[in-house]
Amino acid sequence: MVNEVLYEDNHIIVVNKITGDIIQADITLDSTLRDVVRDYIKEKYDKPGNVFLGVVHRLDRPVSGAVIFAKTSKALARLNSMFKHREVRKTYWAIVDKLPDPPEGKLVNYLWRNQTKNKSFVATETTQKSSYAELDYKHIASSDRYHLLEVELHTGRHHQIRTQLAAFGCRIKGDLKYGFPRSNPDASIHLHARRIEFLHPVKGELVTIVAPLPVDPLWNYFGKVTSQQETPEA
């Protein structure tokens, strides 16, 4: 399996999604990450018949990072409840084209989704079709042209990080749909589900997972810079 397994036990499996993968079937009818992981489990454990694998949450196709799947119906039900009640801490890294002002803060908007365009927008006024969206952001590093933000989601709206950061004037590198002028060669965007933290749905233990960054020059640069920042001086 191309996607790296970050955590696995009898109840859940967490993989590092690569850009381009879709979590669940859509109109493209392309092979899904769920199918890939299910085949991996079937082969690894030599399971006869169908393998249960529940989708707990999703990442957009051009986004990379940690994705949780449930291997049992009990785990799926409990994880669904945890996501609904915001009991899962989700931290993303985003590379953007503008240094935010202020460099750290909270974004609160109401978003509405245009199904035809598969795109979300910040609502000018709250309506029944708009949904509350909240995230915290923090600038953690810069290169000559780009800036790395750490984003913590408090709600899970369609294209939330992409929409809110773009409306704030910080466009994610490669995200043509939300205003960045050029796409990335591999159709990815520089948004990565970096860290996820939750209480195990069955064992009750704290699970903290950090997803390694994709391999490309810009991610490599920021990975190196942030690791140096975390290394204490002798």
Q: The domain containing residue 173 runs over which residues?
A: 4-222
Is 193 inside any structural domain?
yes
Task: Note the pLDDT tens digit of each residue in 155-196.
Answer: 999 999 999 999 999 999 999 999 999 999 999 999 999 999
Q: CB burial class (10 A; 0-12, 13-18, 19+) of residue 207?
A: middle
Interatomic CA distance for residues 73 and 53, integer angstroms: 8
Is 143 inside any structural domain?
yes
DSSP 33: H
Interatomic CA distance for residues 177 and 174, integer angstroms: 9
This prediction has a pTM of: 0.93
CB atoms within 10 A of CB 209: 17
pLDDT of 34 reads 94
User: 75: part of which helix (H) or strand (E)?
Assistant: helix 73-84
CATH number for position 205: 3.30.2350.10
Is 87 inside any structural domain?
yes
Q: What percent of the chain has pLDDT over 90?
A: 87
Number of structural domains in the chain? 1
Is 75 inside any structural domain?
yes
The better pLDDT of the pair 13, 27 is held by: 13
Is 153 inside any structural domain?
yes
Task: Note the pLDDT tens digit of each residue in 16-57.
Answer: 999 999 997 766 667 899 999 999 999 999 988 889 999 999
Q: Which of 26, 30, 39, 60 is catalytic?
A: 60
Task: Note the pLDDT tens digit of each residue in 128-142.
Answer: 789 999 999 999 999
Is 229 inside any structural domain?
no
Which residues fall within 8 angstroms of residue 5, CB to CB, at 6 or more apart? 13, 14, 15, 16, 40
Is 232 inside any structural domain?
no
* Residue 60 designated active-site: yes
Confidence check: pLDDT of 232 > 70: no
Is 233 inside any structural domain?
no
Rounded average pLDDT over 79-91: 96
